[in-house]
Amino acid sequence: MLKKIISPLISRLSQKYPIVHQTAMNNDLLNSYFTLFESMPDPIMLIKGNHFINCNKASLEQLNYPDKVSFLNLSPWEISPKFQADGLTSNEKAKTLLALTLKQGYHRFDWQHLRYDGSIISVEVTLTAINLMGESLFLVAWRDIGQHLSKFEQLQKAKKRLKVLYEANRDAVMLLNEKGFIECNPAALTMFGFANQESFFYLHPSDLSPEKQICGLESRQQANHNIAIAMEKGSHQFEWLHKRIDTGEVFPTEVILTAMDIDGDLILHAVVRDITQRKQTEDQLSRLSIALEQSASAVVITDLNTRIEYVNQAFINSTGYSREEIIGQKPSILKSGHTPQATYDSMWAALDKGEYWQGELVNKSKQGQEFIHLTWISPIQQTNGTITHYLSVKEDITERKKNEVLLILAKERAEKLLKTKSQFLANMSHEIRTPMNAIIGFSELALLKDMPAEVNDYLKNINTASNNLLTILNDILDLSKLEAGKMGLNLSTFSVHNLHTTLHNLFINAAKSKGLVLNTDIASNVPEYLIGDNIRLRQVLTNLLGNAIKFTHQGEVTLSISLQQRDDQQARLLFAVTDTGIGISAEQQNKLFLPFSQVDDGYARNFEGTGLGLVISQDLVQLMDSAIKVESKPSCGSCFSFELALPIAPLSTVASIKSPLSTAPSVLTTELKTLNDIKILVAEDDIFNQKIIEPAFRTPSR
């Protein structure tokens, strides 16, 4: 069959090459052509109708078919994918091409075949219509163009990538010849403030620069010098000051010039990178480096193995080691052996967790001198969170620690002296009060006798002065107890309303004697019975009311007790003493709670007192977990107030509390009528008190 097909081919070849005569053909020549058909490197096939009737060895190899039996009688579209590259079905397109070839006699086109293993191969097909022994056949010859297409596509892709890289590059990329710039990417237009390439082309590099560079040379002169170096050496890299055309802004850049030959023309390829951010970072790092070097604190940077990579000058000065001696060592070289192991354990526990640590380390210098470092150690993290180094800042606090010891000793000595002083004052107060009580007692006994008016007046003055001195002694004793921390609170159930009534009775006469109005107001919702130190609370309010009346010449003094908050367990009360007196300036208010101090010397001459009352009152209120507040302006009066949270007394504890008398009774004016015919045993070791007590009980009241 193949010989029948090849014979016409030989006939056609004989017509083309006359030296071959058909009559000379013999079976050996036919066999030779048959061998040629089989050994052709490109696939060759014959189609009859719509099916292959023969193929050479290359066809089977290219399509991966095992033998001719499995290939022959297949149609062209059966060895093709369902669709061709243009979207047409292989069946439809194959029939169209066969019909076209039959009409034209010859046709060449691209095609996609389907290999036996299912892979696709791109081929260029040459289809020729022939007539053999009255039969219409198609001679098919094709070659694999997939490799050629792949290389072409790769070239196109590479070209496209280069274009993308060129246009997307954030650095300015330009081509430069002797006339100026002849090409640039979009980044160059953006960097230098140009709207289009036309206005950029044929400019000289100095046109994009300030008049002079940092070195002081003119930009055009220096630019030509750099171009000459690049032309001579092939490339040149340098830093340059450029300028935006639209704003005139000058900015630093890094420039790389590369000389290249393009189609026989010598061209400079220029890449310009804006290094403004880099310069700022370098300046910042430079400042940080200078700051570290000039820091008074020692600074150490180590790697994760604690090998020292950097120390500043302060570290060198304090330890005595040079940089050459310490770099590569570990900080443990400074160990003195006197730092507790627990300190190191806590340090590593924190650092292993990536946390900051602060503590004191007892270190030793190269010369063996010990010193105490207050040390801060921080892990250094990179932007991705990885810890790469440790930063340690050390402050020598040796002198400070010595001073702290001295201060502690001085404080203990001062506290001891204060305690001694307080004890002395307390003892003296007790010693002085005994004779003072005798003076007061004898003067009161003497006042009960009939005597001339002048002598009686003297005795009254002695009694008044003695009582004032006793008050001062009591204040000193209270202050001594407070300073020594021996003052406590005696908590008991008391009536707030009784306290209010008692205070009103105590001060009503003093207020009237100065022509003042005394107001004592208690809110109706204030609980009747509370738990607290009634005596100390009354002492504070007595002092505040006494001061208010003392420093008020006209107007009124008001004591108000109001409820601020209440629950089932306790009530918060506001105690306020308000007056219309002389007032106190802001500067003078700072002196109010200082011992033995009044607002100024002028007041001390006009108003008697030691200045201890407010100090004691403030300390007592602080014992009750509160503080006295002051609101005052000169000539506008004052308001002293404080809040107390007091427990509400259970009903079972209030039955024994009685109302106070309408006036405060004196010891020697108490009615003694009910004490007739009663024997009283008095135990008193002081002879003066014994002499006072006996006539006091014998003398009838007036």
In sequence order, what DSSP letters do the residues of 218-287 get, joined into one string?
A: BHHHHHHHHHHHHHHHSEEEEEEEEE-TTT--EEEEEEEEEEEEETTEEEEEEEEEE-HHHHHHHHHHHH
What's the whole-number mean pLDDT along residues 415-438?
74
Residue 496: pLDDT above 70? yes
Residue 486: pLDDT above 70? no
> 544 phi and psi, to 5 degrees?
-65, -40
User: Architecture of 295-396 per CATH?
Assistant: 2-Layer Sandwich (3.30)
What's the whole-number mean pLDDT along residues 577-604?
74
Under 8 Å CB-to-CB from 293, ≥6 apart: which residues? 312, 313
CB contact burial 107-140 (16+ within 10 A = b; e otherwise): beeebebbeeeeeebbbbbbbebeebeeeebbbb
Q: Is residue 526 within 8 Å of 561, Cβ to Cβ?
A: yes
Residue-wise pLDDT for 55-70, tens only, equals 999 999 889 999 988 9
Q: What is the structure's pLDDT at 307?
A: 95
More confident call, 649 vs 474 = 649
Under 8 Å CB-to-CB from 272, ≥6 apart: which residues? 171, 172, 173, 174, 188, 191, 240, 242, 253, 254, 255
Q: What is the structure's pLDDT at 154?
A: 66
Rounded CA-CA distance 168/151 in Å is 25
The CATH code that applies to domain 488-664 is 3.30.565.10
More confident call, 412 vs 684 = 412
Structure tokens at 558: 């008001």
Model confidence band, residue 292 (pLDDT cutoffs 50, 70, 90): confident
What's the whole-number mean pLDDT along residues 490-516?
91
Q: Specify which of 3-7, 144-148, 454-458, 590-594 reaches the highest per-range mean pLDDT.
A: 454-458
What's the whole-number mean pLDDT along residues 675-700?
68
Q: What is the structure's pLDDT at 250?
A: 95
What's the whole-number mean pLDDT along residues 245-272?
92
Q: What is the structure's pLDDT at 348?
A: 93
What's the whole-number mean pLDDT along residues 678-699?
70
Q: What is the structure's pLDDT at 2?
A: 45
User: What percentage of the chain carries pLDDT values higher than 70?
Assistant: 83
Residue 150: pLDDT above 90? no
The CATH code that applies to domain 2-150 is 3.30.450.20
Strands (E), 404-513: 492-495
User: Whole-number mean pLDDT of the chain?
Assistant: 83
> Distance of alpha carbon 94 from its chain centroid, rounded?
74
Q: What is the structure's pLDDT at 43?
A: 92
What's the whole-number mean pLDDT along residues 20-27?
47
Q: What is the structure's pLDDT at 599?
A: 55
More confident call, 57 vs 483 = 57
Rounded CA-CA distance 54/36 in Å is 14
First-to-last CA distance in the chain?
A: 169
What's the whole-number mean pLDDT along residues 254-279?
91
Residue 644: pLDDT above 90? yes
The CATH code that applies to domain 169-279 is 3.30.450.20
Residue 322: pLDDT above 90? yes
Rounded CA-CA distance 113/90 in Å is 9
DSSP code for 394:
E
Residue 170: pLDDT above 80? yes
Residue 336: HSE in the Cβ half-sphere, 13 Å Cα cutoff: 17
- Check for a shared fold between 169-279 and 295-396: yes
Q: What is the structure's pLDDT at 691?
A: 67
> 514 phi and psi, to 5 degrees?
-100, 5
Tokens 């800042």 -> residue: 393
Judged by average pLDDT, the poorest of 10-24, 214-228, 402-416 is 10-24
Q: What is the structure's pLDDT at 4?
A: 47
Q: What is the structure's pLDDT at 22?
A: 45
Q: What is the structure's pLDDT at 29?
A: 61
Judged by average pLDDT, the poorest of 155-169, 220-234, 524-538 is 155-169
Handedness of CA 214, 220, 225, 231 (dihedral sign): positive
What's the whole-number mean pLDDT along residues 263-278?
91
Strands of 172-177's sheet in order across: 180-184, 172-177, 265-274, 250-262, 235-243
User: What percentage of the chain carries pLDDT values higher than 90?
Assistant: 49
Residue-wise pLDDT for 358-413, tens only, equals 999 999 999 999 989 999 999 999 888 899 999 999 999 888 888 888 889 888 88
Residue 188: pLDDT above 90? yes
Rounded CA-CA distance 429/60 in Å is 131
The maximal CA–CA distance of the chain, rounded, in angstroms, is 190
Residue-wise pLDDT for 448-467, tens only, equals 888 888 888 888 888 877 77
Residue-wise pLDDT for 102-147, tens only, equals 899 999 999 999 999 999 888 999 999 988 777 888 999 988 876 6
What's the whole-number mean pLDDT along residues 168-186?
90
Domain ranges of the chain: 2-150, 169-279, 295-396, 488-664
What's the whole-number mean pLDDT along residues 10-29?
48
Under 8 Å CB-to-CB from 106, ≥6 apart: which residues? 126, 127, 128, 129
What's the whole-number mean pLDDT along residues 277-281?
91
H helical segments located in 592-665: 601-606, 613-623
Handedness of CA 75, 78, 82, 86 (dihedral sign): negative
Residue 33: pLDDT above 70? no
More confident call, 589 vs 571 = 571
Model confidence band, residue 661 (pLDDT cutoffs 50, 70, 90): very low
3 state SS of 585: coil
Model confidence band, residue 610 (pLDDT cutoffs 50, 70, 90): low
Handedness of CA 147, 148, 149, 155 (dihedral sign): positive
Residue 420: pLDDT above 70? yes
Model confidence band, residue 18 (pLDDT cutoffs 50, 70, 90): very low
Residue 180: pLDDT above 60? yes
